[in-house]
Amino acid sequence: MKEFQMYLNPAHAVNSFKIRTGISDKLSNAFLSFSKRMYEEGYYFIADKYLNGENLLILNRSRGAESNFFVFIRSKKKDELEIFFSNPLFDPKVKKENLIVKRIIKENEDLENKFLFTILVIKEHSKIKPIDEYWGNLHSHIGTIHGERVWDDGITEDRNWLLQSLLWHHDFHALTSHNWPHNEERLNFLKNRCDAANITFIPGWENTTTIHDRVKSPHILVLCDSIETAMQAKYEFLSKKLEDDKGETVTPILSGVPGPIQRHLSYLKHLHNSGKAALFIAHPSSQNQGIDILDPELRKYISDAEGYDILFNFADGVEQFNFKELDSKEVSLLYIMRMIENELGIRFDELNHMAINYYVGEIAKKHGLYVLANQDDHYQPSIESGLLSDYSFGHNKLILSIATFEYFKKQKRKFNSSEFVKAIIHKKFIFEDEKGRREEQFSLSPVAAVSIDNDNGKIELYENRKPSVLEKIRSWLASEPSYYWNIAKLQFKYWFADKNQKKEIRNELEKAKAYNLKIDDKK
């Protein structure tokens, strides 16, 4: 069972913070009084050095089953603190400058009243997120874990990946790197950081489901019930792509396991039927060529009926909102427009990929499938950068039944990754309490800060979430050059890889050989 990490005594947290930041005695004393009041309100300071770093303290309201609400305290100067958190209200009327609620506390002010008012502001905003409503992201990428470069096309530093998740009050977070779930040490490092903040970490990967090309083939999200399952899948299945048909090693990124597609579908279904992995169709339509099940190029290799079957009869759900497709161009694909018209009775001549995914999601709901809202993020800025994360665009919302919530509340914990995955597979939470075996319904639905016009099929991000021209430039400079340089290196097999990355692959190949020998021994 995961355990969150907390300072039992707020004085210990404040003293540690004072030593790290050098804030004045007067400000420190007033801050301690504020902290004691927050503890009385049920909050606590997270005791994780990696998350806190040099100049942060983080409060959370959840000591168990209750959903998270995080408050950050940052030292700006020796005589100045900044207290901030994200506004949980998804309303287009909220001013952009109020999406991150900030309170500046200066030593030369009326400290007691400033802190008291800050407590009131926190309490009012925290009420907006119900304690039995859980938010999270189920499709993300990363660049480093514990300071080491990993095999993924993400460039996010792990601490930014974690802190942005806290800033936007997440309760669960999945890592879905391309065709590779990383190793146990790295996954456990992320899990331990998430556990410290009472966030459920879900290991997994984004599977390139090879039809013809091992890069340009549809993506399926695989959410594993445990790190053990992720490792099993790596050695049983994913490691097979490390050797191509000529015996030459290829980079374990972007490329999937060799086909045929049935090889992929049967293995993923095996994991699913064993209760070990939930499956979602990622971005059914995408501006990136070849990576979505509705791509016109793939119709050369699979029929419309086969594509339809994979889309609506194979997985647990589809990605209805993939925010990377917000600004994609409109396309006129007759077979997609015909499907939308036949299933929903709405006729369009053309739609962009964001809108296509939305309407595919509406069809999926008619088939009894879950639909998701995901960032598919490859870059997350520092929470101190002033840039608005795309985690502000939306999330997946999970609501438990009263009985399920009370079950976890008695155990003083949230659901773990195994319970989460099995609930999705079975479409219910299954547990035992004093009344015996219980099967309880739950809801998993997307929340997206967008307006939808069904007359013309336009989907627009709320104005308060749209980046300004300057913010776009800053974000581009911070992410795009690094992203494409990383992609370039990854596409040249191992030539530009770090020594540690090359060593990792050699080790993984040896582990895979040993693992497969053990399987043969059992036969």
Between these two residues, 247 and 121, which has the higher pLDDT value? 121
At 1, is the pLDDT very low, low, confident or very high (cuts 50, 70, 90)? very low
* CA atoms of 171 and 415, how far apart (whole Å): 10
Confidence tier at 169 by pLDDT (50, 70, 90): very high
State the average pLDDT over residues 292-304.
93
Whole-number average pLDDT of the chain: 93
Model confidence band, residue 393 (pLDDT cutoffs 50, 70, 90): very high
Percent of the chain past pLDDT 90, that is, above it, reads: 83
pLDDT of residue 485: 85
Is 346:359 a contact under the CB 8 Å cutoff?
yes
Q: Where are the domains of the chain?
A: 10-131, 134-429+443-490, 493-522
Is the confidence at residue 151, as pLDDT, over 90? no
As assigned by CATH, the class of the 134-429+443-490 domain is alpha beta
Task: State pLDDT tens for residues 118-135.
Answer: 999 999 999 999 999 999
**pLDDT of 487 above 90:** no
Q: Quick check: 287 and 356 in contact, CB under 8 A?
A: no
pLDDT band at 247 (very low <50, low <70, confident <90, very high): low
How many Cβ atoms sit within 10 Å of the Cβ of residue 287? Answer: 16
Span 353-370, mean pLDDT? Answer: 98
Number of Cβ within 10 Å of residue 115's Cβ equals 21
What value does the mean pLDDT take over residues 164-186?
97
pLDDT in tens, 28-62: 999 999 999 999 999 999 999 999 999 999 999 99
The pLDDT, as a whole number, for residue 66 is: 98
- As to burial, measured by CB atoms within 10 angstroms (0-12 exposed, 13-18 middle, 19+ buried), residue 334 is exposed
pLDDT band at 518 (very low <50, low <70, confident <90, very high): low
List, for residues 201-218, the tens digit of each pLDDT value: 999 999 999 998 888 999
Whether the Cβ atoms of residue 405 and residue 354 lie closer than 8 Å to each other:
no
pTM of the model: 0.94
